[in-house]
Amino acid sequence: MKAMTALPQMFHDWFAAQGWQVHPHQQAMADRAGAPATLLIAPTGGGKTMAGFLPTLAELATDPRPRLHTLYVSPLKALAADIRRNLTRPVQELGLPIRIEDRTGDTPASRKRRQRADPPHILLTTPESLALLLSYEDAPRVFAGLQRVVVDEIHALAESKRGDQLMLALARLQTLAPGLRRVGLSATVEDPQAIARLLARHPDPCEILQADPGPAPDIAMLETEELPPWSGGGAGHAIPAVLREIRRHRTTLIFHNTRAQAEIFFHKLWQANDDGLPIAIHHGSLDRERRERVEAAMLRGELRAIVCTGTLDLGLDWGDVDLIIQVGAPKNVKRLVQRIGRANHRYNAPSKALLVPANRFEVVECVAALEAVRANALDGEPRGPGPLDVLCQHILIAACSGPFDADALYREVITAGPYADLPRTDFDACLDFCATGGYALRAYDRWQRLQRRADGRWQLRDPRAVQRIRMNIGTIQDSDRLKVRMRRNRGGKPLGEVEEYFAASLTPGDTFLIGGQVVRYESLREMTVEVTRDPGRKPRIATFMGTKFATSTQLSERILDLLAQPDWPQLPRHTAEWLALQREMSRLPERGRLLIESFPHERREHLCVYGFAGRNAQQTLGLLLTKRLEEIGAAPLGFVATDYATLIWGLEAVTDPAPLFELTALRAGLDGWLAGNAVMKRTFRSAATIAGLIERNLPGNRKTGRQATFSSDILYDTLQKYDPGHLMLRITREEAMRGLVDFGRIEDMLARVGGRIDLVRTGRVTPFAAPLFLEVGKVPVAGAAEERLLAEEASRLMAAAGLHDAP
């Protein structure tokens, strides 16, 4: 054994007693314990977390004085609890007097108070719980002695505003504890430098350590007897083959891209599960207690399979998983690789994974993704600068902890990687928003949220605001969810949540799936959807969404190249035949051309645009095109976008698409259009909630009577009308252009296409268009068509009820 510099001998003895060796990257981390920032890139199962904690344990072994020494931040509550269990064992066996505790939204209030008064050596938490901790007046005392912070699964945090919030929190921590050293733990990513820049205090350097990536994964497409369907995301055809694989393996994780798909698949799997194999479902919409039961059963090794969504994506230690099944196209090569890394948690054992395309288009996408994985070509889009809504929340959190100096706060904020280039004017605009609302009409001079004191520092005017701000900390924006419960006289058991818009579309008697069971909608009562059990009936599809991923540019291009082949020997025969059929009935999309199909279906006219520009750009295209269609009187009703196409439906057929696609007209329409559409309103709601303009949670309970709250759309419309230059609208526009709008990809696509647009009119749905009908995330268009429909339906209902105009 070579000389170990940083680790006390007792650690090597303990490792040896386990029959383990200290991995080279674990030793390297220990050697760099003093560095201000280090990023470790290692595959799952590579002892990554231990590598992050070894220096902490070594330091505490020599100096166990009571103080908060290390803060561990992970994106998942479950991960914090999991790490606590895993760390406790070596600490106990080494006889170290180290206290390890977790603190998340689930921690009881009494323990949280005690943790602030008497912090443990190691505190395991989430970005939101950390932000909350920093909002207390005693934060300087709690964190004064902090030595290290370990950010786990930083690649996942880096993709969202949760990461931006965390980096602002680290900037604050660094002020409270100047000697703080930062460690990031990441799965394989395409651009480690970008993550390193996020992690380190700007402009400190950050060394990147790469662990041995381990053997190449064993990955293939699942062979099924039955053919994948023309359309749909259920993958029901694969049930027998999946069951066979479950029987062959110890524990199988079955990943889905959306919760609805996971629910449907689990339901079908359970119906076919004649051997009664212990199979469970786990996703973010399920009731917490149910999720915890599944997690516990998994840890005890009692489950043979878990049907899940992104909630199990991250590095939870699930022990004996030996097979990953990905149902549905992976959308993104990097995420696929990370999911595959979940199997065979032992270092140096190849991960085993099977892809199950849910329909024939996904067969094409899966084959393209497999080729990319073999070529080791990861993808990813760079993120823009730190968003201002998160900064607004950070300013409010700072105010909760006590009066602050604006100059000092600005200097601190720009040490956070995502905000390194933040102009002072933007900071001041955020501060003004927090203080007065930042309106052109200065209405809140008397009722400012933040007031400037005589000493020049800023403080909250009304101490009641502290509680309201704390209750709304966080950047996770699920759309409004309603709880689902069994009807009260049958026990009132909570089942999970559905999105509000889904609940609004239900009428009593409708059935849907939740937690693997079919339930019947009875009533909506005080923000709770009441249901009864309904085992016999076929469910209506639950359309509540999980995370939606966008297919990367790189993967889209691989798919188009595949489609361009004269024949497709690498595809299963059924899919090759389907492509041939599409070529025959219509044509195949090509690079450098734009294919558009037009057809009637179910009393509506449809237009399908195959832009292959990624989901967000296709969505924007949908918004722009529906606006143009509204202008020319084609009465569009709505659209849905996928990564490769936009499907628009309305009351009139389109015969000449060329005028619709003039780039100048599209761009001219962009600004006016941006103002009024549903995506912008959704973006606004999220930004305004994060920035503290909309309070989701209020002291007391959540409001029961809905007349007490009003829609964020009203605020959006009001700002558009009276204060179009307002900061919140600017944030909304910038965010939408960058993420949800992605207008750049539309411009690129149209530039490549030039005028080469091919319109194909068919009498019915084409093979390629069919899957789009089952997509979730349909965007309605409010316009003339809605008034027409409303009139139609109103007179039908009145006639059916035998009612005339007056009662």
Partner 1 sequence: MKGHDFTLAGARLTALGSGALWWSEHRLLCVSDLHLGKSERIARRGGATLPPYDTRDTLNRLAVDLARTEARIVVCLGDSFDDLDAAEALPEEERLWIARLQAGRRWVWIEGNHDPGPLDLGGTHLAELPLAPLTFRHIARPGAAGEISGHYHPKATIRARGRAITRPAFLVDRDRVILPAYGTYTGGLHSHDAALAELMRPEAVAILTGPRPQPVPMPR
Minimum distance between the CB of residue 722 and partner 1, rounded to whole angstroms? 4
Which residue type sits at 174?
Answer: Q
Minimum distance between the CB of residue 711 and partner 1, rounded to whole angstroms? 7
- List binders of partner 1 among 431-490 (CB under 8 A): 436-437, 439, 441, 443-444, 446-449, 461-465, 468
Minimum distance between the CB of residue 661 and partner 1, rounded to whole angstroms? 27
Minimum distance between the CB of residue 435 and partner 1, rounded to whole angstroms? 8
CA 262/CA 514 separation, integer angstroms? 10
Tell me, rounded to whole angstroms, the distance of Cα 33 from its chain centroid: 32
Structure tokens at 18: 């386990």
Indicate whether 272 belongs to the interface with partner 1 (CB under 8 A): no
> Measured between alpha carbons, how far is residue 144 from residues 134, 141, 200, 242, 399 in Å?
12, 5, 19, 53, 19
Q: What is the C-alpha radius of gyration for the chain, rounded to an integer number of angstroms?
A: 27
> Measured between alpha carbons, how far is residue 84 from residues 155, 478, 511 in Å?
21, 28, 41
531: part of which helix (H) or strand (E)? strand 528-533
Q: By the 8 A CB rule, do 42 and 51 touch?
A: yes
Of 56-64, 155-163, 402-410, 786-794, the segment contacting partner 1 by CB under 8 A is 786-794
CA 280/CA 265 separation, integer angstroms? 11
Comparison of 200 and 498: residue with beta carbon closer to partner 1: 498
Minimum distance between the CB of residue 728 and partner 1, rounded to whole angstroms? 9
Comparison of 342 and 449: residue with beta carbon closer to partner 1: 449
Residues in the chain: 807
33: part of which helix (H) or strand (E)? none
Minimum distance between the CB of residue 554 and partner 1, rounded to whole angstroms? 35
Minimum distance between the CB of residue 546 and partner 1, rounded to whole angstroms? 21
DSSP type of residue 118:
S
Minimum distance between the CB of residue 537 and partner 1, rounded to whole angstroms? 19
Comparison of 446 and 538: residue with beta carbon closer to partner 1: 446
Comparison of 633 and 807: residue with beta carbon closer to partner 1: 807
Indicate whether 304 belongs to the interface with partner 1 (CB under 8 A): no
Minimum distance between the CB of residue 634 and partner 1, rounded to whole angstroms? 16
Indicate whether 653 belongs to the interface with partner 1 (CB under 8 A): no
DSSP type of residue 391:
H
Indicate whether 807 belongs to the interface with partner 1 (CB under 8 A): yes
**Which residues lie closer than 8 Å to 715 by C-beta, 6 or more apart?**
684, 688, 693, 694
- List binders of partner 1 among 705-724 (CB under 8 A): 705-711, 714-715, 718-719, 721-723
List strand residue ranges (DSSP E) for 589-746, in order: 594-601, 604-610, 636-641, 646-650
Indicate whether 637 belongs to the interface with partner 1 (CB under 8 A): yes
Binding residue count for partner 1, defined by CB under 8 A: 62
Minimum distance between the CB of residue 188 and partner 1, rounded to whole angstroms? 42
Q: By the 8 A CB rule, do 598 and 762 touch?
A: yes
Structure tokens at 429: 């605009």
Calculate ∠ Cα 700-504-683, nearest 5°: 75
Of 98-106, 362-370, 574-582, 700-708, the segment contacting partner 1 by CB under 8 A is 700-708
Of 41-49, 183-191, 306-314, 503-511, the segment contacting partner 1 by CB under 8 A is 503-511
Indicate whether 604 belongs to the interface with partner 1 (CB under 8 A): yes
Of 39-47, 335-343, 549-557, 793-801, the segment contacting partner 1 by CB under 8 A is 793-801
Q: In what order do the strands lie in the sheet with 305-308?
A: 218-221, 352-356, 321-327, 251-255, 305-308, 279-282
**DSSP bridge partners of 512:** 519, 540
Options 274, 455, 567, 805; binder of partner 1; rule CB under 8 A: 805
Options 21, 348, 376, 505; binder of partner 1; rule CB under 8 A: 505
Phi and psi (nearest 5°) for 334? -60, -45
Of 115-123, 317-325, 617-625, 797-805, the segment contacting partner 1 by CB under 8 A is 797-805
**DSSP bridge partners of 533:** 519
Q: Which residues bind partner 1 (CB under 8 A)?
A: 436-437, 439, 441, 443-444, 446-449, 461-465, 468, 501, 504-505, 507, 523-525, 603-604, 637-638, 692-695, 705-711, 714-715, 718-719, 721-723, 726, 780, 786-787, 789-794, 797-798, 801, 803, 805-807
